[in-house]
A = this chain, B = another copy of it.
Amino acid sequence: MSSNSFGKLFAVTTFGESHGPAIGCVIDGCPPGLPLAEHEFAHDLERRATGRTRHTSQRHEEDRVEILSGVHEGLTTGTPIALLVRNTDARSKDYAEILDRFRPGHADYTYLRKYGHRDPRGGGRSSARETTMRVAAAVVAKKWLAERHGIVVRGYLANLGPLAPRSFDWAAVEENPFFWPDAAMVPELETFMDALRKSGDSVGARVNVEATNAPPGLGEPIYGKLDAELASALMGINAVKGVEIGDGFAAVAQKGTEHRDEMSPEGFLSNHAGGILGGISTGQAIRCSIALKPTSSIRLPGRSVNLAGEAVEVVTKGRHDPCVGIRATPIAEAMVALVLIDHVLRHRAQCGDVAASGPLIPGSVPE
């Protein structure tokens, strides 16, 4: 299996190219009895979609999900749930000019070296278009996690290039197209993005994700640690170059007395670990953070090589995001949700008859 499946027990297999007839996925292992309807996918796909504001790619993806199997009379049956989204606004002519040359920072060169043959239209399989199906699959995961365990996964943009929020409010996040937690800064972000788009360049970003109400005990030592699987899930998102759990790289300069999360009968006294110890959830909020590189598809010319091995210049036309990080928030949430549901199922497979022992330390961190 050439790794187009994700998850061990709640397994999602995706398929499709950016400019092919359709993209889709098959969810195998979903617990039966979950109510599920096609309209439930709209909200998260809308959050991820391009073409919603002038700050993201102007490709207008309609993204209507068709449920092909696995649901009967409105309930999941336990059999594979196939989801299909037809590609509706694929303009392959935009890509004609780059067929014979490799775009810097793209997978053009590596796909060709690996496979000897590639679909160049819109990046083919390496396009962020593929992440649509991660978000769709995670709609199912999020719903089950919320209904059965009260687990909530949510994210926000923590850096837009050099900019950082000056205040934090979860309520603000869904009220602006940037998933930005500081409402007062939104005009500043819009000005920044307008200038960036005009310049033809792009910037990187940071996205933070938090999962609350996950019970203690999720995660499998040694090679299926919850943090290791989150790292894989998040690093596998297009353009991600770094992953942190809890304090992440800040831990390098910390002292042990500073980093270790002390406990009291009332709860953990801090959460530097990001809710995971020894690869297993503690019951605290699970916190992770990712770095996204600046979009490689930019209008400014770059040096490259063509199929004949000659030096050429590349200019990427087409419709691209000047900051891919903006739309990455729902994608990062999706990957976290997919890891969590998989581990809930894995945990109950092995430990479903364990009478948990020892006290339950509340996860709440005084803030």
Contacts and interface: CB of A to CB of B under 8 A. Distances in A.
Given A259-B105, A265-B309, A26 B23 contact: no
A171 to B, nearest CB: 25
Stoichiometry (number of copies): 4
B14 A115 contact: no
A351 to B, nearest CB: 6
Interface in A1-58: 1-9, 11, 13-17, 20-24, 26, 28-33
Interface in A106-139: 106-107, 109-119, 121, 124-126, 130
B292 A251 contact: yes
A281 interface: yes
A159 B253 contact: yes
25 contacts: A3-B28, A3-B221, A4-B80, A9-B349, A14-B222, A15-B28, A15-B82, A21-B69, A75-B117, A77-B119, A77-B124, A104-B262, A107-B221, A107-B280, A110-B282, A116-B351, A203-B253, A204-B251, A222-B236, A235-B243, A241-B249, A256-B294, A256-B300, A260-B294, A262-B303
Given A22-B68, A161-B253, A236-B223, A102 B263 contact: yes
A14 B74 CA distance: 21
Contacts of A317: none
Nearest to A241: B251
Given A33-B115, A262-B302, 13 more contacts: A2-B11, A3-B223, A17-B79, A20-B68, A31-B352, A72-B121, A77-B117, A79-B221, A105-B260, A110-B280, A114-B351, A114-B356, A231-B235
A93 interface: no
The 7 closest A-B pairs by CB, nearest first: A107-B278, A3-B224, A105-B260, A309-B359, A232-B232, A202-B256, A228-B236
